[in-house]
Amino acid sequence: MALVVLSKVEQRLDAVRAVLAGASVTEVAAVVGVSRVSVHAWLSRYLAEGVAGLADRSHRPRSCPHQAGESVTVLVAELRRQHPRWGAKRIRLELLKNPPDGMTVPSTSTLNRILVRQGLVVQRKRKRPRESFTRWQRPGPMQLWQLDIVGGVMLVDPVTGAVREAKVVTGVDDHSRFCVIATVLERATGRAVCLAFAAALAKFGVPEEVLTDNGKQFTDRFGKGGEVLFDKICRYNGITHLLTQPASPTTTGKIERFHLTLRRELLDDHDPFTSVEAAQAAIDEFVAQYNRDRPHQALDPKRPVTPADRFTAVPPAQREVLPVWLPPTLTAAPAVSADPVSDSLDDGADSSADGSPAGSPWAGGPVEFDRIVPASGNMAVAGRQFWLGPIRSGQTVRFWASVEVIHLMIGGVRIKSVRSHLTTADLAVLAAAGAVNAGPPPLPVEDGEAVEIERTVSRGGTIAIGGTVLLAAEILAGRRIGIRIEPGTLMMFDLDSRELLRVRPNPLNYAKIIRLRGVRPAGPPPRPSIEPVRAQRRASNSGVIMICGQKSPSAESTPTALSPSTSPRPRWPSSWPTATPASCHGPPPSRCVTSKPTGHDRPNPKLSRPDVKDHLAQIR
C-alpha cells in the first residue's frame, strides 16, 4: 500500500477531531508530538474559523519598537524630493548638521531602506567594486592642488539669442576639497588660465604641488617639449608641477568629482547666462555654499564636515616674506583679504542698488546687499543657510541685515524674515565686502498693527504660526486660508470672499509676528456670513431640545431651526410657545454660548407631556 503524506492542516484537523470525539488533549498532543498549548490553540481556531483557521500564520511581530517612526519617514522623503541628488549619506549628514527637535538621526542603512521603501531610489549594482580603487590623500592643506578646465557654462546673447559655451578653470585642495579656483572664461587660453591661477596664489598662498592633466594650457608635454607660461609660474614660485598619465581621469578624481557636483547642483538646471559676469556671480555663490555649508562625505562619512573646516591658507606673515612671482607680461592679480576662509561671508555685490560705491563708509548700523539664488535654492551668508527653493534659482535677493533681524526681498517684496545671527563684526565684514548702509526696514509694522498671512490647514485641522500649532477646524483640512493677526485675536478667513471662518486667541508677541513668513499689511477686517444657518435636533423623551446652550420645547420629533448670524431664533410650531435665546456675537454663527439654565428653566422629566406646556407657561 502506498504511503500518503498528510499536510500540516490535515494533521491538525485529525487532532482536533480526535479531541472533539472525546480523546483527552494530553493523549492527542503526545500522539501528534506537540504541546497541549498547541492543541488547545488549534481547537479554538477551528471552532472560530473552521478549517481555514488551522493554516500556518505569520510570526511577524505586530509592532517594532526600534523601527523609524512615521515622522522620520516623512522628513526623509521630503528632503529627497526637494533634493533629488541627495542619497542616504548626504541626508544623514544634513540631519546631523541641523537635527530636528526631539528626533534621533537614523543610521545610513535605515535611511536607505526608507528611500527604497518609498520608491525614491533605484538600487543598482556598482559597475566596479569600491575596493578596486586606490585612494590617496595629502595629510595637510596647501600641500597639493588639483586643477582642471570644464565646460557646460552656456551664455546667451540677449540681442541675437545666440548661445555659446564658456569654460571654467577649477581647482580644489587635495586634503580638504576646498575650492580655491572657479573662474569663468570666454576662452580658456593659456594666459587666461594663468591669470586665474595667479589670483588663487595671491588669495591663499603658494601650494607645495599642483596636479593637472596634459592640457595645452598646463604643459607642452606632447607638443614641442617647451615650457609654457603655467610651468614657468610654478618653477619660479617653487611649485612642483605633477602631470597625470594620458587617459587617466581617476588620478585627478577629486577635481572631477567637483565638476560632477557643479553640473548637478548648478549648471544642469540653470538657464543660459546673459554674460560672463552673471555666470561668475552664480558660480561664486555655489562655491561659497560648497566650501562652507555643504557637508563633504569623503572628509567624514559619519559627521558633517565642510571643506572650510579642514582648510587653512598660508599665513600672511609667510606670504610677505616670499611674495608670489608673476612674469612681467602677465597682469598681476589684485591682492585679497588676509583671511580667505571668511571671504565667503561675502563675495557679492560691488555696488549698491542706488549706485553708491561699494567702499562708502559704514555707519555702524544695518546693511543691505544682493545675492543670486543658486540652482539648489539654498543660499549661504556668513555661515548660515537661507532656503528659498530651486524655483527661485537665478533670482536676485536683496538682504536687509542687522544684529536683530534679517529680511529677504525679491523685486522689492519681502519674502522672508529670520532672527539675525550676525554680530557687529560680521556687519563690518559685509560692509567691507560691498554691502551698503541700509534704509528703513521693509516691514514697517508697529507694535499693535494688524497684519495678514496665508497658511494651509493640515490634515488634522491645525496650522503652525511662529512655532506654535493652533487648531483651526478639521472641516478646513487641506484648505488655503488667510489669517488676520491682531494684538489679541487671530481671525481666519476665506481668501476669495474674506468671509470669517474661525477666531482664535493670539499667542504671538510682536517679535515673533515680524519674523513670520509671508506677512503683509492687513486688509479690511473679515466679516461673518449673513446667511441663516439651518440645524436639526432630535427632541428628547420629555419634548425638549437644546440649541446654542438653550433648552426649548418642541412638538416635532426632529424640528428644524434657522439661525441668523446675529440672533438665532429657532422655528417652532405655531401652537407652541416661542423662546428667544440671547444674542451670540462673533463667529462661528452656528455655535452660540448662553448662560446655564436655572432650576426654573430646566424641564421636569417627571411631568407628563401635557403638563410640560402648562408648567412652561406658568414660568413665562
Which grid cell is 413? 517684496
Q: What is the pLDDT of residues 549-601, one digit of tens each?
A: 777 775 554 555 554 444 444 444 444 444 444 333 444 444 433 344 444 44
The pTM score is: 0.44
Spatial CA neighbour of 212 closest among 146, 258, 149, 150: 146
Calpha distance 438→352 (Å, rounded): 10
Q: What is the pLDDT of residues 65-80, one digit of tens each?
A: 777 888 888 888 888 8
Average pLDDT, the chain: 79
Q: Which residue has the higher pLDDT, 379 or 49?
A: 49
Start-to-end C-alpha separation, the chain: 98
Give the count of alpha carbons within 13 A of 461, CB side only: 8
Calpha distance 181→200 (Å, rounded): 6
**SS3 (DSSP) at 533:** strand
Return the pLDDT at 338. 36
Helices 36-49 and 8-20: crossing angle in degrees, nearest 10, is 90
Calpha distance 353→435 (Å, rounded): 10
Inform me whether the pLDDT recorded for 7 exceeds 90. no
Q: What is the pLDDT of residues 333-342, one digit of tens each?
A: 443 343 444 4
- As a whole number, mean pLDDT of residues 489-518 equals 86
Residues in contact with 80: Cβ distance below 8 Å, sequence separation at least 6, in sequence order: 86, 91, 115, 118, 120, 121
Q: What percentage of the chain exceeds 90 in pLDDT?
A: 26
Q: Which residue has the higher pLDDT, 373 or 334?
A: 373
Q: Which residue has the higher pLDDT, 130 or 101?
A: 101
Calpha distance 429→401 (Å, rounded): 12
Return the pLDDT at 576. 43
Q: What is the pLDDT of residues 194-224, one digit of tens each?
A: 999 999 999 999 999 999 999 999 998 887 6
- As a whole number, mean pLDDT of residues 475-487 equals 90
Q: What is the pLDDT of residues 234-249, one digit of tens each?
A: 988 999 999 999 988 8
Return the pLDDT at 565. 43
Dihedral sign for Cα atoms in the order 411, 417, 418, 422: positive
Return the pLDDT at 569. 45
Q: Is 497 exposed, middle or buried (0-12, 13-18, 19+ CB in 10 A)?
A: exposed
Spatial CA neighbour of 346 closest among 439, 402, 429: 429
pLDDT confidence of 106, banded at 50, 70, 90? confident
Which of 213-227, 237-251, 300-314, 438-452 is predicted with the least confidence, judged by mean pLDDT?
Answer: 438-452
Inform me whether the pLDDT recorded for 178 exceeds 60. yes
Dihedral sign for Cα atoms in the order 524, 530, 536, 541: positive
- As a whole number, mean pLDDT of residues 49-69 equals 83
